[in-house]
A and B are shown apart, each in its own frame.
Chain A
Amino acid sequence: MNVEIPYFARHQLSPGGTWISSRQKSLRTFKLADIGEGITECEIIRWAVKEQSAVQSFDPLCEVQSDKASVEITSPYDGVIKQFLVGEGEVAKVGQGLCLIEVAEDDTTHVESTETTGQSPVKTPVQVTHDVAEDTPTEAPPSVNVPLRKHPLDPTNDLSGTATTDHVLATPSVRHFARQHGVDLAAIAPGSGRDGRVEKKDVEAFISKVPVPDEVETASRQQEDVVVDLGRTRHGMWKAMVQSLEIPQFGYSTSLDLTRIHGLLPTLNAHIPAHFLPSASTPSSPRISHMVNPSALYPVPQPPSVPESGRFTKMTYLPFLLKTLAISMMEWPLFRASITPAPAQDTNKPTLTIRPTADLTLALSTPTGLYTPTIPSAQSFSLHALASRVTHLAYLGRQVPCGLTVKDMPRRGGTISVSNVGAIGKGEGASPVLVPGGGVAIVAIGRAKWVWDVSDEFYRPNDDGMEGERRLKIDVSWSVDHRVVEGAELAAFVETWRGWVENPERLIAVAT
């Protein structure tokens, strides 16, 4: 299979198929979505379009065959088919790219960051990749659209309006048209189409009725030096960073191979328990016939109630990385240790307090500042529960004023801090800063990216003449308190972590 994609050099496309900044057109990889029914791969029978031809969303794109099912796949976007990534008669796995579609985009970049510190929001970058993969057109088109959630720090982000717009029914081309003209679909809904769908003519009618707003007043240009206060949260960061100079830190960076967990994500996503799914969504129908009721003999225990803010539709890599980190911490008491807080005048030798649980602190970047909530006893959380907790904390953090309370941020924080700087950009090799109270180590997790690996493990000749393998890797950078931890110990600990991350199937053996 030919994997050359000539557009890459010009458009600097990240192989995950995410956005390209500030270009009029963006090239998106349309991936074979999870068709359900446990199907993991399909053969492409026939392409219904040719390369370089234009398609509208919902136009049939190709027909694929998997065991006994013949499936018609339609286009998720309006655009031009630039290149087929899988030919007729070839087999594609779920999640694999089927073709490249060039879509006309507006100029706003996906994320703008005005902060350049090491800490960053908890939202993981790979959410966007999976949005593209999930684009199977269903009866309700909102799921087809890649959510344009702006970064909380994006000055143009309007936090209040986003929720309602998502519930308006409209095809992607209508959404695009509305976006181009700065029209909020929530203002037009319901539209004139079927089921209240907003059609293009509704948008046009809206535009012609509403007078064009005046140009937004540009902030008056700054003429001279201005003095501003730091603000409470930023001042808190200042103090912590000054104290951090007391801690001798060493850094350590490596990359983890996420390919295997990437392959498991479709299965995990297909089996998110109903109590973690948003109330509005319909859970996947159970395999067992409705005629048989497990509660017939004795009531099945009710699942715990989960607040709406803690519900999610997709698993991402972050909960998985947190879970495996927590398991590794259980094997390494050193990383469950914190320096025993000593009274000021005490001249006894310093001691470490080792806790029985793996407590993790998340570095959360929010509109109101940098916060560090803690997940106590992270090893006892299931993957889904971790995802739920992370989602919930992120939701609280996004609120203005901040919804995080002292309960979420106890004085005794975690022993390892986790920062997800990969959500912001494609930076490689961040050096996070460990502050007092932040535990013995902090790890910054980068952005997952696909690379060609020709290390000995994968370097081998095969029929196509290709050697090496395409693997999904993520960079992680550690900063560790050298008063407590040796370099070799950290390296060994990271290898323990790697052993779990790169072999996710091991989680089956420890499932309780």
Chain B
Amino acid sequence: MFVSFRHVASVLGARSKPSTALVRTSASLPSTSLRPQSAIYVSTSTNPYFNLTLEDWLFRQYPAHAPLLLLYRDSPCIVIGRNQNPWKEVNLRVARERNVPWIRRRSGGGTVFHDLGNTNYSIHVPRTSFDRAKTANIVVRALRALGAEGYANERNDICVGGKKMAAVLTSACDRHVSGAAYKIVSGRAYHHGTMLISTRLDTLRDLLRVDKPTMNAKGVESVRSPVCNLVEANPRITHEAFVEAVIASFREEYDVDDEPCMVEETPEYVGDEYFKSGMAELPGWEWAYGQTPEFEYVLKKKFGWGDVTSTIRSKHGIILSSTSTLAAATTASSTNIQATLDELGRRLEGKRYGFVQDAEVLSDLEYRSGDVAQSEAGELWRWLKAEMSA
């Protein structure tokens, strides 16, 4: 069953405050009537919202002292880290054109691209025995068993090297085949990552190429690394083979016998409270945009009537302030224009960055100072609007 996952970001309620409830307490976690049945889970659903919620459900519900493995694949989507800035990490224009959604996950780290050529693994362990190197090694062993010369580097990213790659590479750099992130709570921790088997790397590059050097953002910036697919090292590697190899490696490491539990979006899961609220929260504006840390964007443009420098500050997805300064004006009515620009800036305060309607900003503006200013403000607004949705 293919569920459409366009963003349902709401434009209403522009002044909503960021919710601290999004740091979830065990009291605020939704209730669930389902119980995990196995230490190994494989999802056959490719709905990223479902899979992320499944991962979170297993993280909170599985007994804290026992290790657990989850494997899944998603249809094409971009997944950003818990504390990242979507406008800085994702090329929103290209994403919209290609109908690829982006999602904020619950663990930290950087931005990755998921598609059916990219398999995700998630290893959950008790917090006291959490060791990044050890969990990375489980995957490295699986790769070796598949005939690829995998290894973990000092950041515990998984790479492949080897003779086959040497012809393709310059200098001494091996390429990454996996990105990873972690989440740690009081009793439990997980290490999850992607494994590039046969992903569309060109799509990956287009979607993650963002050129906004004047956007100064807090939060975590992705560390860009050259990547390659596993099939370049061994053409026979498939999603199924990788899944089997990781399960075997996991079993060996933790001495686990469980049969893998195959999961899909059955009514049993989708009807459960936990899944319903989790899958609703992820695409919502509050989580997707409202968790963005503070940033400042400085933009410059030359219009026919003068040069403008605009500075927009935003936190938690809300515009804190927007100031536009006019310089080198070519018309006599520059003070009028500046006044209108100031008014435009004031109207933007408190609105959701990237979601402001024309009417909210431009209505009644024309009565202030005649049509001339209206058209300049309109031009500026159209430009700002385009920049904010890129």
Contacts and interface: CB of A to CB of B under 8 A. Distances in A.
B293 A45 contact: yes
B83 A65 contact: yes
B134 A72 contact: no
B131 A69 contact: no
Interface residues of A, number: 35
Contact of B108 (A59, A66, A282, A287): A66
Given A71-B184, A282-B128, A285-B134, A45 B83 contact: yes
Interface residues of B, number: 41
Interface in B176-195: 180-187
Residue in B110, B131, B291 with the greatest tally of chain A CB atoms within 10 Å? B131
Nearest to B127: A138
A289 B131 CA distance: 10
Interface string A116-143: 0000000000000000000011110000
Contacts of A48: 20, 23, 25
A74 B20 contact: no
B102 to A, nearest CB: 18
B82 interface: yes
Contacts of A45: 82-83, 293
A46 interface: yes
B24 interface: yes
Contacts of A503: none
A307 interface: no
Which secondary structure dominates chain A's binding surface?
Answer: loop
Nearest to B293: A89
A35 B184 contact: yes
Interface in A136-188: 136-139
Nearest to B105: A70
Interface string A37-70: 1000001011111100000001110110111111
A36 interface: yes
B241 interface: no
A138 B182 CA distance: 18
Interface string B212-252: 00000011100000000000000000000000000000000
A138 B25 contact: no
Nearest to B126: A139
A71 B183 CA distance: 6
Contact of A63 (B23, B109, B132): B23
B185 A72 contact: yes
Interface of A: 35-37, 43, 45-50, 58-60, 62-63, 65-74, 88-89, 136-139, 282, 285, 287, 289
Given A45-B82, A69-B108, 15 more contacts: A37-B130, A43-B219, A46-B23, A48-B23, A63-B23, A65-B82, A66-B108, A70-B107, A70-B109, A71-B185, A89-B218, A89-B293, A89-B294, A139-B64, A287-B133
28 contacts: A35-B184, A46-B20, A46-B23, A60-B25, A65-B83, A65-B220, A68-B110, A68-B180, A68-B181, A69-B183, A70-B81, A70-B83, A71-B184, A71-B185, A72-B23, A72-B183, A74-B185, A89-B219, A89-B293, A136-B186, A138-B127, A138-B128, A138-B187, A139-B64, A139-B126, A139-B128, A139-B187, A285-B134
